[in-house]
Chain A
Amino acid sequence: MVLFNTTLPYLLSGISVGGQYALIAIGYTMVYGILRLINFAHADVFMVSALCMVYAVTTFQIPLYIAIPLVVALTVLLGFAIERVAYRPLRSAPRMSVMVSAIAVSYTLQNLALYITGGLNKNYPSIPWLSDSITVLEATTKRVTVVTPFLTIALVVILVMFIQRTKIGTAMRAVAKDFETSRLMGIKVDSVISMTFIIGSFLAGIGSMLFFTNYPGVIPTAGAMPGMKAFVAAVFGGIGSIPGAVLGGFVIGICESLIKGLDTILVNTGLLQSPLELATFSDAFTFVLLILILVFKPTGLLGEKIADKV
């Protein structure tokens, strides 16, 4: 019982942050699936989305019920614009050029954010219902912790249905395999690619609201760490696979949170006399996991083997 009571808060927070990683990871994995590009700017889109929220609510005093859809719309617009300006003109260029362009966009956004904020830590506005305190089985937490996994799962189910059942979803799967044949079908490949960025940014916008409600400090590099972990989640699950990205997000979120709490858990249950400062390793864990996956199962848990086209 002591074990359960001390573990539960960490588990809850792990599931929650895992859902947030999952929402970002989908953006990485979908863009990779269609363009074979690691969209380095994705993490910064996530950060800019948070800054938009800060300015919308604190500077422009826009009420939340308008600010929330507005910020999501702006995030989508940003993702769309990045593809249009920085990736589409390089469609027939070598993959390396596109990657360099993605890194350039990433740093441009970070520097822009630095310029606008003056490098100050901006406080994310609290969204009333989400940041209320609630009690789950004697563990006190913010409501966002409980909402995140359900919202994540719901969004993923809708997304997977969209990709499996609709015409444009089927076209996305077709384009991911073969640009040229898709063109012969009359599919506008560029529109399908734009659609991918729109979906990815939309989910990053939602993820951003959930994440920064939990961790309200927004700085220009605030996207880097969650973005990096979401990327690892995508690789862990098998890059290109949406269920894989979601699985990876939850695994990384939960493990990381449990490692953070391991000292407390072990001390409270009497297995340890004094803390070992294991929490220090919670970030390192993610990257060790990345290395292990790359060495032992490069295609990830649910990733398919990419067969060469004959």
Chain B
Amino acid sequence: MLRIEDLRVNYGGIEAVKGITIEVPEKEIVTLIGANGAGKSTTLRAVAGLVRPAAGHIYFLDEEITALPSHSIVAKGITMVPEGRRVFPDLTVLENLKMGAYLRKDNLKDDIQWVYDLFPRLRERSWQLAGTLSGGEQQMLAVGRALMSRPKLMMMDEPSLGLAPIIVRGIFEIIKEINRQGVTILLIEQNANIALHTADTAYVLETGRLTMKGVGKELLNDEAVKKAYLG
């Protein structure tokens, strides 16, 4: 569904991504794990059109999307839950959800219900300003907001960041549920343990290069991965 070919991205004067090739098959959960600064975020940001790649190609549904503007990429069915949630603090929960559906012209009612069914907490807080939500609730809102664009592919940048373990487990249950409902997921995580448990396929990234690829659960038992990322 998504194919990244020999992607190179410069970021802040250094080559953050040094030629990586990744394949995300339809309906799967694919994860990219690696330490801080390995180039995971930069890869996602390049796919989302937030940074321009220096070289390489990105294809979505066999169509090249390299360096398209972000709004065109969203229109094609790719959404991203940014690192640190980044909800709009001065907008209400409902307004945040509506912003997620910015490019849609059709009726949003059913999708708002769908998001509220996934996250009943958000329904209770519909009129509250997003800035007043707890970290976990903000993460739910960020995911719900991303879903409002009716994405085919949802990219998630560190959804576990700064959240309590129990909330992280809840978020990952929802990720699996969203995936079961037909959304392909590309997930990057520093929490390799939970990411590998969730993912069908996993890639390991080290200082801008791919060092390993495998089935998520198999990598859990890989000695090198254990040593480097599972502690």
B-contacting residues of A (Cβ < 8 Å)?
167, 170-171, 173-174, 177-178, 180-188, 310
Contact = CB atoms under 8 A, between A and B. Distances in A.
B71 A188 contact: yes
A170 B80 CA distance: 20
Contacts of B25: none
13 contacts: A167-B98, A170-B95, A171-B102, A177-B90, A180-B86, A181-B88, A183-B48, A183-B70, A184-B79, A184-B80, A185-B74, A185-B102, A187-B99
A185 B100 contact: yes
Interface residues of B, number: 25
Contact of B90 (A173, A180, A181, A184): A173
B99 A174 contact: yes
B50 A184 contact: yes
B128 to A, nearest CB: 16
Nearest to A175: B88
A188 to B, nearest CB: 5
A185 B95 CA distance: 12
A181 B82 contact: yes
A220 to B, nearest CB: 40
Nearest to B104: A186
A182 B100 CA distance: 9
A37 to B, nearest CB: 20
> Which 3 pairs between the two chains have the least Cβ-Cβ distance?
A186-B74, A186-B103, A183-B70
B50 A170 contact: no
B214 interface: no
Given A186-B71, A188-B71, A310-B84, A177 B89 contact: yes
Nearest to B96: A174
A86 to B, nearest CB: 22
Contacts of B149: 185-186
Main secondary structure of the interface of A (DSSP, over half): helix
B121 to A, nearest CB: 21
B88 A173 contact: yes
B34 to A, nearest CB: 22
Given A185-B74, A310-B84, A180 B99 contact: no
B155 to A, nearest CB: 10
Contacts of A185: 74, 99-100, 102, 145, 149
B75 A186 contact: yes
B49 interface: yes
B86 A178 contact: yes
A170 B89 CA distance: 12
Contacts of A173: 88, 90-91
Given A170-B95, A170-B98, A184 B88 contact: no
A69 B100 CA distance: 37
Contacts of B89: 177
A237 B71 CA distance: 35
Contacts of B88: 173-174, 177-178, 181
A187 B101 CA distance: 10
Given A167-B98, A170-B99, A174-B91, A183 B71 contact: yes
Interface in B41-80: 48-50, 69-71, 74-75, 79-80
Nearest to A178: B86
B102 A187 contact: yes
A162 to B, nearest CB: 14
B170 to A, nearest CB: 22
Contacts of A310: 84
A173 B145 CA distance: 16
A182 B91 CA distance: 12
A260 to B, nearest CB: 39
Contacts of B100: 185
A156 to B, nearest CB: 19
Among B48, B50, B70, B145, max chain A CB count under 10 A is at B70
Given A170-B91, A170-B95, A173-B91, A186 B102 contact: yes
A167 to B, nearest CB: 7
A16 B79 CA distance: 49
Which of A167, A170, A177, A186 counts the most B-chain CB atoms under 10 A from its CB? A186
Contacts of B80: 184
Contacts of A186: 70-71, 74-75, 102-103, 149
